[in-house]
Amino acid sequence: MRRFLALSFPAFAVDRFRRRSPGAPPLVLLFTVERGSRWIAALSPEARRLGIARGMSLAQGRAIAGERDLAIEPHDPEADRRSLAELGAFATRFSPAVAVEGDAGLVLDVSGSERLFGGEERLVHLVVEAFARKGFGARGAVAGTLGCAFAVACFAPRAQRRVALRVPPGGEAAALDPLPVAALRIGTDALQALCEVGVETVGELRALPRGALPARFGGELLSRLDQALGTAFEPFVPLRPKRVPRRARAFEVPVELDVVRHAARELLVELTTELRERCEGACRLALDLECAEAPPVREELVLSRPSRDLAHLASLLEPRLERAPLGFGVLRIVLAAPETAPTPERQTGWHEPAGQAEVAEVAKIDRPLGELFDSLVGRLGRAGVLALVPVETHVPERAFEERPLASVETLRARAAITGLARPSRLFAPPAAIEVDAGPAGAPMRLVRNGGARRVLRCFGPERIEPPWWDAPTEGSRDYFCIEDDGGRWLWVFRDPQARWFVHGEWT
């Protein structure tokens, strides 16, 4: 007899946001962009209490919240999914088989393992508490089928929640009957059709003649119902942890540095071969040495970009080996790449005319540079070492992107760059200033940092329109290059409301 523990996270996206930014206000709105405007995709219970609901436009949500503090962020379902898989890995401490169910649910196969935790009810409490400590509000239930456990976890009414934690074997039908039909995990079309004929609960659905169901509501409904009741089989696909490339050597007697170096080289050859087969590069390397009469040594390397280049990795690893305290020799050596990332294979094809500027955009990173970048990334993180990429836009603050060095290497972008004069420093955001404009609209006098300055020279205006396809609220800007009477050159603009800002300076 199989038993399943289902966990549902009713506010998964918001909980994840809270965990990332602990100081955020209680009102949280996560939005998606659809049809050119922003819609609320997830929100905190505090926000729901105010009357804000999922599917409202973000502007409406803001208006309801009024003066209260709001945290607004884009909703990232892809990151949610990744994070859910990580939580699944965490849940393996309760059961070896864990599967992801839907967008915000986990299912654990607890057949037999509940005894280790003192019974099913206690197990559910333990699991829910463990997730609550991690900051995720979860509801759990145990039942004989995956479908039933999930339905009860998601849809058991608040009053019954304590009782319904455990559905006794054979009690699936009784537990499902009072639940709404949405608990069966069926598509919106079938839900709509059921709603139209007034079928609201599973009990009412089961009272209908079985033979007529597939024709009226589609085949999925019946199979979902049977799966939940346990009369049809439902596949359970557990998460499989990604295998970490790892190689090891053990020695019969403690060996000296020369042998260790040779063995490390061999392991590296095997590791890079495996990485090549997987089309991946190592982002992190871990070298473990078990030493005789000395504590074990662990050396970790963080790389600025995924790499499986043997010479490069060996040059990073060998100095570490030489510095490591090896005691009376090494007994075992383990080399692993705990973090890997796909490296796109680049075709150096005959059809690419050699020597073109586009091909030579990113110069090769030689070994000393690679080591420098790796040590910088190791200390400052991937976001601390950036390269510049021109972007095809005329908006000055978006014309260049700073990207982590790793992502630039494969890039061939060669966007146009405006030929007009631009300052050497751009202020982000532009600083508001007071300007007295002359009759033609050109600035005559400006007040900045409390000091008034006369404008000696003024070139402009240069009109920059916002792109029509986004940010329709922004207006066009008229830019002027001005020299004040102190000799400083500023790049100022006027927005449609005749407010003035200084956007840059030639420093």
Partner 1 sequence: MRRPETREIERVARKIRGLLAATARAPRDVVPTGWAIDERLAAGGLATGAVHEWFASEGPLSILIHLGWRALETAERTRPGARVLWIGRRVWPYPRALVGDFAVRSCSARSEPASSEERAADEAILELARLDAGERPADERLLLARSVLVDVREPGARLWSIDAALRCPSVAAVVADGSGLDMRATRRLQLAAEAGRGLGLLARPARERDRLSAAATRWWVEVAQPVEGAARPRWIARLARQKRTLDPTAPALHGPACVASSP
- 255-272 burial, b for 16+ CB within 10 Å, e for fewer? beeeebeebbeebbeebb
State the nearest-atom distance from the C-beta of 365 to partner 1, in Å. 8
Residue nearer to partner 1 on the CB measure, 344 or 486: 486
CA 196/CA 434 separation, integer angstroms: 63
Residue 446 as a binder of partner 1 (CB under 8 A): the answer is: no
- Residue span binding partner 1 (CB under 8 A) among the ranges 33-41, 124-132, 145-153, 367-375: 367-375
User: Within a 10 A sphere around the Cβ of 37, how many other Cβ atoms?
Assistant: 11
What is the C-alpha separation between 506 and 360, in angstroms, rounded? Answer: 31
Residue 383 CB, shortest distance to partner 1, in Å, is 7
Tell me how crowded residue 374 is: count the other CB atoms within 10 A of its CB: 22
Q: How far is the CB of 369 from partner 1 (least distance, A)?
A: 4
Residues 304-343, mask of contacts with partner 1 (x by CB under 8 A): ----------------------------------------
- Size of residue set near partner 1 by CB under 8 A: 50
Q: What's the burial of 277, exposed, middle or buried (CB within 10 Å: 0-12/13-18/19+)?
A: exposed
CB 318 → partner 1: shortest distance, Å? 18
Q: Which of 141, 365, 446, 492 binds partner 1 (CB under 8 A)?
A: 365
Rounded to the nearest whole angstrom, what is the least distance from the CB of residue 301 to partner 1 in the complex?
A: 15
The full DSSP string for 123-162 is HHHHHHHHHHHTT---EEEEESSHHHHHHHHHH--GGGTT
Toward partner 1, which CB reaches closer, 36 or 486? Answer: 486
Looking at beta carbons only, is 240 or 364 nearer to partner 1?
Answer: 364
Binding segment toward partner 1, per CB under 8 A, in 135-143, 160-168, 357-365, 463-471 = 357-365
Q: Does 457 bind partner 1 (CB under 8 A)?
A: yes
Phi-psi region of 279 (alpha: psi -120 to 50; beta: other; left: phi over 0): left
Structure tokens at 397: 């603050």
Please say which residue, 293 or 366, places its beta carbon nearer to partner 1.
366
The Cα–Cα gap between 43 and 31 comes to 9
CB of residue 341 vs partner 1: minimum separation in angstroms?
20
Q: Considering beta carbons, is residue 250 or 372 the nearer one to partner 1?
A: 372
Q: Does 390 bind partner 1 (CB under 8 A)?
A: yes
Q: Give the contact letters, 395-434, x = binds to partner 1 (CB under 8 A), - = no.
A: -x--xx-x--x-----------xxx-xxxxxx--------
Quote the DSSP letter at residue 394: S
Fill in the per-residue mask, 469 to 498: x = in contact with partner 1 (CB under 8 A), - = not in contact.
--------------x-xxxxx---------
Judged on CB neighbours under 10 Å (0-12, 13-18, 19+), 151 is buried
Look at residue 269 and give its three-state secondary structure. Answer: helix
Q: Does 371 bind partner 1 (CB under 8 A)?
A: yes
Bridge pairing between strands 27-34 and 139-143: unpaired
Looking at 5-13, 80-88, 356-364, 462-470, which segment touches partner 1 (CB under 8 A)? Answer: 356-364
Distance CA 267, CA 310 (A): 11
Report phi then psi at 242, rounded to 5. -65, 135
Looking at 72-141, list the stretches that DSSP marks H as alpha helix, in order from N- to C-terminal side. Answer: 77-91, 120-133
Q: Give the shortest CB-459-to-partner 1 separation in angstroms.
A: 8
- SS3 label, residue 350: coil
- CA separation for the pair 426, 503 (Å, rounded): 6
Q: Which residues bind partner 1 (CB under 8 A)?
A: 357, 361-366, 368-369, 371-373, 375-376, 379-380, 383-388, 390, 396, 399-400, 402, 405, 417-419, 421-426, 456-457, 459, 483, 485-489, 504-507
